[in-house]
């Protein structure tokens, strides 16, 4: 099969022939139709310090995908050949305290598809049957390919109730944008989004944001005044990882405010912990998706809301045949506003 392959530490991938993977008795083999390019994939391709310290080679990367089941192990049930599926990229141990309590997203021995085991940048992938999500309702292949990052957005947006609440979203990359659409779908009152990219801020409006803030020249408090807000934001989604984002979010939260934090900080930064304590703020880390309640919520919302589906689909900005992967990665690295899709039916 054709695959993107990193044979050894160092920058770049090889687009080459690799053996098709064989499923074990509890596994499912999937013909990959579409994949999304994630920021993690860019790190792995560039082989920066993060990749060098977290990734082992040889490796087929890629963890955002949509495909068709072609083989099912004898221990797998409720999945059939021909099913159209996406995949949960966190393979868990099943035996640690959290796994046995049903909190699999908190497994202490998580292995990442496309990070610690071969992934989806290939014509075929094998994953455990319990990691396969079957699409029982119609979904566009490109949207199915971004269920992983859409799940991050849903997990963040549903971490706290946003019904009737005022929501601040810092960072309008694809996941931040999708979280705006989810908060609007669920019933937030005011949604304010921040970024430094005019194009991303314009997309934030199309996702349902009531106001946007270019934090390179404006402050979040200005948006509060423009919306006649009196007491600060009730819920925050920190999606950027910027050293400035969380401190400014804390400054603008109402007493008792709740913050869901998905963005990974690129460097340490100071926090006014006195304000966190005296304003009784909650800061909750978000990683991946709840297995599999988030997946159920994603599918249900897309099935019942055409508007949300259109907004999620609009995140996809360009599509490339798999053999044009270099151009696709260059486009993704150029800080574009949307998701880049690779088509594995064109190898």
Question: Residue 11 above 80 pLDDT?
Answer: yes
pLDDT band for 45, please (50, 70, 90 cuts): very high
**By C-alpha distance, which of 331, 322, 320, 328 is closest to 121?**
322
Taken in order of first residue, the domains within the chain and their CATH numbers are 2-146+315-343 (3.90.180.10), 153-285 (3.40.50.720)
pLDDT band for 178, please (50, 70, 90 cuts): very high
Question: Residue 337 above 80 pLDDT?
Answer: no
Question: Residue 169 above 80 pLDDT?
Answer: yes
The model's pLDDT over 105-160, given as tens digits with 9 standing for 90+, comes to 999 999 999 999 999 999 999 999 999 999 999 999 999 999 999 999 999 999 99
What pLDDT does residue 266 have? 79
CA atoms within 13 A on the CB side of 344: 28
What does pLDDT average to over the chain?
A: 96
Rounded CA separation 64/112 (Å)? 11
pTM of the predicted structure, to 2 decimals:
0.95
pLDDT band for 170, please (50, 70, 90 cuts): very high
Tell me how far the alpha carbon of residue 31 is from its chain's centroid. 22
Burial classification of residue 56, based on how many CB atoms lie within 10 Å of its CB (0-12 exposed, 13-18 middle, 19 or more buried): exposed
* CA torsion through residues 314, 316, 317, 320, sign: negative
Beta partners for residue 170, in sequence order: 194, 238
Q: Are strands 64-72 and 84-87 parallel, antiparallel or unpaired?
A: antiparallel
Tell me how far the alpha carbon of residue 311 is from its chain's centroid. 15
The rounded percent of the chain whose pLDDT value lies above 90 is 97
Query: What is the DSSP track for 138-163?
Result: ---HHHHHTHHHHHHHHHHHTSS--T
User: Do 75 and 20 form a contact (C-beta atoms < 8 A)?
Assistant: no
Rounded CA separation 305/308 (Å)? 5
What pLDDT does residue 327 have? 96
Question: Residue 318 above 90 pLDDT?
Answer: yes
- Extract the tokens encoding 77: 């049930």
Q: Which position has the token pair 């994939």?
A: 41
CA angle 71, 75, 78 (to 5 degrees): 70
Question: Residue 335 above 80 pLDDT?
Answer: no
Q: Which residues contact 291 (CB under 8 A, 6 or more apart)?
A: 88, 90, 92, 104, 105
Q: Which of 34-38, 47-51, 297-301 has the least mean pLDDT?
A: 47-51
Query: What is the DSSP track for 240-303?
Result: S--TTHHHHHHHTEEEEEEEEE-SPPSS-----HHHHHHTT-EEEE--S--TTHHHHHHHHHHH
Q: Are strands 282-285 and 253-261 parallel, antiparallel or unpaired?
A: parallel
What pLDDT does residue 332 have? 93
Instruction: Tell me the catalytic residues.
Output: 40, 43
The rounded percent of the chain whose pLDDT value lies above 70 is 99
The model's pLDDT over 243-253, given as tens digits with 9 standing for 90+, comes to 999 999 999 99
What pLDDT does residue 334 have? 86
The model's pLDDT over 182-231, given as tens digits with 9 standing for 90+, comes to 999 999 999 999 999 999 999 999 999 999 999 999 999 999 999 999 99
């Amino acid at each position: 099969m054709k695959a993107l392959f990193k044979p050894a530490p160092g920058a770049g991938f090889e687009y080459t022939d690799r053996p098709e993977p064989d499923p074990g008795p509890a596994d499912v083999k999937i013909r990959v139709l579409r994949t999304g390019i994630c920021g993690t994939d860019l790190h792995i391709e560039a082989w920066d310090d993060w990749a060098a310290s977290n990734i082992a080679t040889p490796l087929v990367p890629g963890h955002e995908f949509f495909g068709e089941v072609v083989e099912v192990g004898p221990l797998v049930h409720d999945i059939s050949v021909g099913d159209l599926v996406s995949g949960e990229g966190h393979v868990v141990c099943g035996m640690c305290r959290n796994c046995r309590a049903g909190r699999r997203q908190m497994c202490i021995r998580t292995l990442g598809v496309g990070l610690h085991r071969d992934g989806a940048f290939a014509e075929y992938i094998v994953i455990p049957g319990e990691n396969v999500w079957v699409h029982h309702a119609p979904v566009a292949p490109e949207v199915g390919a971004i269920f992983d990052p859409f799940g991050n957005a849903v997990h963040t947006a549903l971490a706290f109730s946003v019904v009737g609440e005022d929501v601040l979203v810092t960072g309008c990359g694809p996941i931040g944008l999708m979280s705006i659409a989810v908060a609007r779908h669920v019933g937030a009152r005011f949604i304010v989004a921040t970024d430094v990219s005019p194009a991303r801020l314009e997309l934030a409006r199309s996702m349902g944001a009531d106001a946007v803030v270019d934090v390179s020249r404006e402050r979040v408090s200005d948006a509060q005044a423009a919306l006649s807000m009196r007491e600060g934001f009730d819920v925050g989604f920190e999606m950027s990882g910027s050293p400035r984002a969380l401190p400014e979010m804390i400054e603008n939260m109402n007493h008792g405010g709740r913050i869901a934090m998905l963005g990974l900080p690129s460097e340490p930064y100071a926090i006014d912990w006195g304000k966190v304590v005296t304003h009784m703020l909650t800061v909750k880390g978000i990683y991946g998706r709840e297995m599999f309640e988030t997946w159920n919520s994603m599918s249900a919302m897309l099935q019942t809301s055409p508007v949300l589906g259109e907004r999620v689909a609009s995140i996809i900005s360009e599509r490339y045949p798999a053999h044009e992967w270099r151009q696709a990665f260059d486009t993704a690295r150029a800080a574009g506003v949307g998701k880049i899709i690779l088509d594995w039916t064109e190898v």
